Structure 1
Amino acid sequence: MNIIKLDATDSTNSYLRRLSVNEPIADYTVVVTKLQTSGRGQMGTVWDSEASKNLTFSVYKDLSEYHLESPFYISMAIALALYKTLSSLSIPKLSVKWPNDILSENKKICGILIENVFKQHKFSSTIIGIGLNVNQVEFDNLPKASSLKLVSGSTFDLDDITKEIIINLKYYFNILKERRLVSLKETYEASLFRKNKPSTFQDAEGVLFFGIIKGVSEYGNLQVLLEDEMIKEFDLKTITLLY
């Protein structure tokens, strides 16, 4: 495993992307930093993390031998790798908040940023950015954030967790490469936060409505059973789960 350790960088995803442009990158190359000065989350959000307390790293994954119609299977594999890792650490009440945030006891402990690269109209590679709150215990103005230490009472070794995540990424990407897509999707759906529970949502116009999460489509849309007993699909830009 090729691990590049940095004291600080703007973004591990950006660092790895710059590296991959200039030279060939080995599969599962990891860039990890103690401090990320411009960490990025989904849809332009900022990932803020206390230096040396948490895991902020990115992984390069070669996809040239994968035959993928939908990028969401990549997201499912990554989310399940994190879920499996944290389960092995006995982190309580784990779930995946669609599309790929990892929660414990309804608090966010991990965010994932996936940047896929296409060449000749097919998936070439992906850069997986992972922000995992590990030993940080204070989250000012972030009432929905938590950490492994807060939910378990234990202090964790960052290097050990990184290695375990890579092992589990390889496990689920192997399932993806073997095209065991039904199994992957069923496992992902079984881990979904608030699946089969009445929930409140907000649409892009700010209108609140009630529904029940039933699953996801193969293209990653959330499937919600509405009050009229119809199942409607929503993409990430059109719906927010309130909790």
Structure 2
Amino acid sequence: MKLIKLDAIDSTNDFLKGLSVTQELENFTVVSAENQTKGRGQMGAVWNTEASKNLIMSVFVKDFVLNPNGIYQLNIATALAIIQVLKTFNIKDLSIKWPNDIMSANFKLGGILIENTFKSGGRISSVIGIGLNVNQTNFDNLPKASSMAVVADTVFDKEKILVLIVERLKANLALINTNSQGLWNEYLSILFKKGVPMPFKVKEKSFMGIITSVSAAGKLVVSLEDNSFVEFEVKEVQMLY
């Protein structure tokens, strides 16, 4: 693992993507920052973080996914890596809120943003951005956010967590082409609110449904009251929990 540490940057994902254009990066090149001024979440959502308190990192990987149809497996491998590491620190009630929010009970601890590049010859490289609330304790105006420190009442070593996440990510990515079903099974077993009747909202319309699965393409599969099933894209549906 090659680790590049930065004090402040607009976006670790953007920095690493720019680096990959100018040089041939090795797998698991990592960029971390103490502060990020233009952090992004899914579909352009803003990711705000308190300087020096949280883990802000991006990881470059290539040639693990061999088919664009299997690209969602990167999300699964990454989310599971984070969950597996947090379990070792006794963070309770962990789950993955589709598509890739890391939850403790009903509170968000972190999120993932993966940006893929499809090259000639079919090669796929990716920049995996991870934001994890580690030692921040003030979440004014963010009622659904929390951190490892709040959950466990402990101050954590961010760099140790970074190293452990990369180690677990390596192990999980190695399974993509040998035991992808095992990754899927573990991911679905800890999917936030799976099997629980709950309200959803699409645009201005609310309805009841039950999360049953996630499709191979990464769409959320919801069972409706008439026993039909519908699939939703990222940001197309809102869970009202």
TM superposition score category, shorter chain reference: over 0.9
Unaligned ranges ≥5, structure 1: none
1:67-106 deviation per Cα after TM superposition (whole angstroms, max 9, x unaligned) = 4522111111111111111111110000000000000021
TM-score (norm 2): 0.97
Query: What residue identity is the alignment partner of 1:197?
Result: V
Partners of 1:34 and 1:51 within 8 A in 2: yes
Does the Cα contact within 8 Å between 2:34 and 2:56 map onto a contact in 1?
A: yes
Please name the residue that 1:155 is paired with: 155
Q: Report what 1:234 is aligned to.
A: 232
Displacement after TM superposition at 1:8 (Å): 0.6
Letter in 2 for 1:73: Q
8 Å Cα contact 1:72-1:218 kept in structure 2: yes
Map residues 1-243 of structure 1 onto 2, 5 A cutoff. Answer: 1-63=1-63, 66-120=66-120, 122-178=122-178, 180-203=179-202, 205-243=203-241
Distance in 1, matches of 2:204 and 2:103, equals 24
Under a length normalisation based on structure 1, what TM-score does the superposition of the two structures give? 0.96
Structure 1 residues 50, 65: CA separation in 2 closer, same or farther (over 3 Å shift)?
Answer: closer
CA distance in 2, matches of 1:61, 1:105: 30
Residues 123 and 193 of structure 1: CA distance in aligned 2, closer, same or farther (over 3 Å):
farther
Partners of 1:174 and 1:64 in 2: CA distance: 7
Deviation track 1:94-121 (CA, whole Å, cap 9, x = no partner) reads: 0000000000021000111000110127
RMSD (Å) for aligned C-alpha atoms: 1.3
Structure 1 stretches of 4+ with a deviation exceeding 6 A read: none
Change (3 A) 1:213 1:123: farther
> Partners in 2 of 1:225 and 1:65 — Cα distance?
30
Check the 8 A contact 2:64/2:173 in 1, yes or no.
no
- Asked whether the 8 Å contact 2:65–2:176 carries over to 1, the reply is no
Unaligned residue ranges in structure 2 (runs of 5+) = none
Q: How many corresponding residue pairs?
A: 241
* Aligned partners of 1:68 and 1:123 also within 8 Å: no
Work out the percentage of aligned pairs sharing the same amino acid. 46
